[in-house]
A and B are shown apart, each in its own frame.
Chain A
Amino acid sequence: MTVTLLLEQMFNGLQSGVMLFLIAAGLTLILGIMDFVFLAHGAQVMIGAYAAASLTALTGNFLVGIVLAIPITFASGFLLEFLLIRHLYRRDHMDQVLATFGLILFFNELIRIGFGPAALFSDLPKALSGFVNILPDAPYPMFRLVVIIVGLACAIGIHMLVSHTRVGAMVRAGANNEAMTAALGINIRLLRRFVFAVGACFAGVAGMMIGPLTAVEPGMGEPLLILSLVVIIIGGIGSVRGAFVAAVLVGMVDTMGRVLLPVILRSFMGQAAADGAGPALASMMVYILMSLVLVFKPTGLFPPKG
């Protein structure tokens, strides 16, 4: 394996990590900071992907599709909080798990009824389908660079929102002591609804970014949900910085595992055995990483202070 290829694969790992962060970012807000177990986050990703793909098809313009889809995902989060989630904050985590697991089934079925069970057509706009030479002789799809930029922008945005704005301070205060925060004259209910909607919006943006790369189909969010839960646990629940570092770490480990493990195994066992064991082991790497982190740092890499 050449150095160029190794560097390119590390870049792939970074990109896959940033994409993971996009999905985990909203979950950090909802699960980490608001302390609400929300399993239907993958469904929010799906809603974003469907909204963008169908609006792009309708308007014939990718950018217009995205711009119109963002308010839709925000509104869906806002409505969902108003109709259901707000009744669940005081319940214990098991109730939240059950209710939001039900939401997964509900949304998947809703999409199936509305759009049919087939995958939706979604492709890149011509302007973003070119290549960039990140390294000599390593053309890289331009859209994947856009994904990295959007992911980094979201990381900075969410970090600023939580740590450097009054809204962020109020949210953190509300999560810490609801009664006291309300007593200080802050409309904690509205604030929660806003944060929840922002979280849904981040998930939606993740869906819009993934849509052109993968199949837009019912249930597309669930595999992503599991990985983003892993990211949040590794990073330390509630830490934006932790989620970012963990997402990049998970992306790297997953990518390098897939690429390197079969090669390494082949050097000391038979071709057939290595071809079988390599992918199996590679798919476990992320979870092995999580177990190791939990053994040595049970609260994650960057547990939030306080």
Chain B
Amino acid sequence: MKRILTTAIAMSLATAVPALADTVKVGYMTTLSGGAGIIGKQMQNAVNLAMEHTGGKLGGMDAEVIFVDDQRKPDVAKQLANRLVKSDKVDVVAGVIWSNLMMAIHKPVTRSGTLLISSNAGPSPIAGSGCHENFVSMSWQNDQTPEGMGKYMQDAGIKSVYLMAPNYQAGKDMLSGFKRHYKGDVVAEVYTQLGQSDFQAELSTLRAAKPEATFIFQPGGMGINFVKQWNQAGMDSVSKLYTVFTVDGVSLPALKDTALGVVSTQTWSPDLDNAMNKKFVADYKAKFGGYPSFYAAQAYDTMMAIDYAAGKAGSSDSAAMRAVLAKGGIPTTRGSLAMNSNQFPIQNIYLREAVMDADGVPTTKVIGTVFENHGDAYAKDCQF
């Protein structure tokens, strides 16, 4: 018995020692607790699915993923980021849903020489003059998606629009992105409270203003609240609703048929026609039940990008992986992804509509492409 045990230990040591030298270590930060926990859960599911698809390896090397819960609090996020970088000594810090959290961890992570890859947040300050070469986005710059909506509504000849977003960095980016291509009359620009649950007062004011269209950004639970109350107040007869990051795989199960027909722009949709996306969506549905959201798709893309970068670089070295990603041509669920000079993606912006699929499950469907190969407005200000 003793001999068997010693042999087993010796064998495990023999396999473990060389593996230690080239293990890709990823610290994945997302929100797993609280009201936004569903978003983090979907991202965690997608990361696990990606690791399953790569056989538990990244770039052919052994891999380790450490999940941390930022609790949607900037101070917690900063603490966790420091821990990942200093004591866990990860090669990549990835994830991050919220722009204000990204702002909190951007400097400490990038300055330590660790690669930081965003799976969602893309605040404008770190895309322009505050950019850093150790940051790569696998999602979008905040302004890109609403820019698509502004362009679409401008081209559709919509004369007046009422804007509403929560009062924080991403909310401001979304509305300024919208206004970059929309030249019609902006009736009002209303900032609501982050985490607001009742919008009745705002809806009353909106009704009196009688705008032709309304454009909102209300992610997560706020979007569920807003769309429900929009319907209950019969607002469709007053104004047509356009959204970004509001009607998606996270909110649709709670909204069901009440959100059908709502139009939004997005860089991804479950029905995008490419092999990688089809495999991702089918396997995600089979494994976790229900459609993945864009958060999940971007989390999956992030892991696949690390896999691609580590494989091409042939090592887990942060600088080598970054150099690969900066060149673009990254295989993702959005097709081959090109990279801008500030290392944010250049990508298509699609127009999506909320529909019922063949099984009576609400989802989104691409109904047009507003921008092809669209870069962000801040890249010109970025000097590494």
Contacts and interface: CB of A to CB of B under 8 A. Distances in A.
A63 interface: no
A214 B225 contact: yes
B191 A119 contact: no
Closest 9 CB pairs of A and B: A119-B254, A215-B224, A215-B221, A117-B38, A279-B167, A117-B37, A279-B191, A118-B38, A5-B208
B37 A218 contact: yes
Interface residues of A, number: 52
B322 to A, nearest CB: 33
Nearest to A2: B208
B253 A118 contact: yes
Contacts of B250: 118
A215 B204 contact: no
A305 B379 CA distance: 67
B192 interface: yes
B198 A16 contact: yes
B234 A5 contact: no
Contacts of A48: none
Given A123-B256, A219-B35, A278-B191, A15 B200 contact: yes
A227 B181 CA distance: 40
B12 interface: no
Contacts of B193: 258, 279, 282-283
B189 interface: yes
B254 A219 contact: no
B232 interface: yes
A255 B198 CA distance: 10
Contact of B204 (A5, A131, A278): A5
Contacts of A131: 234
Interface residues of B, number: 37
Given A2-B208, A16-B200, A217-B38, A118 B254 contact: yes
Interface of A: 1-2, 4-5, 8-9, 12-13, 15-16, 19, 108, 112, 116-124, 129, 131, 138-139, 141, 143-144, 210, 212-220, 223, 255, 258-259, 262, 271, 275-276, 278-280, 282-283
Interface in B197-215: 197-198, 200-202, 204-205, 207-208
A119 B221 contact: yes
Given A220-B221, A276-B191, 5 more contacts: A219-B37, A223-B195, A259-B204, A275-B189, A275-B191
A120 B34 CA distance: 15
Contacts of B205: 5, 9, 259
A213 B198 contact: yes
B262 interface: no
A255 B224 CA distance: 20
Contact of A214 (B34, B191, B228, B251): B228
A213 B233 CA distance: 11
Interface string B167-209: 1000000000000000000000111110101101110110110
Contacts of B225: 213-215
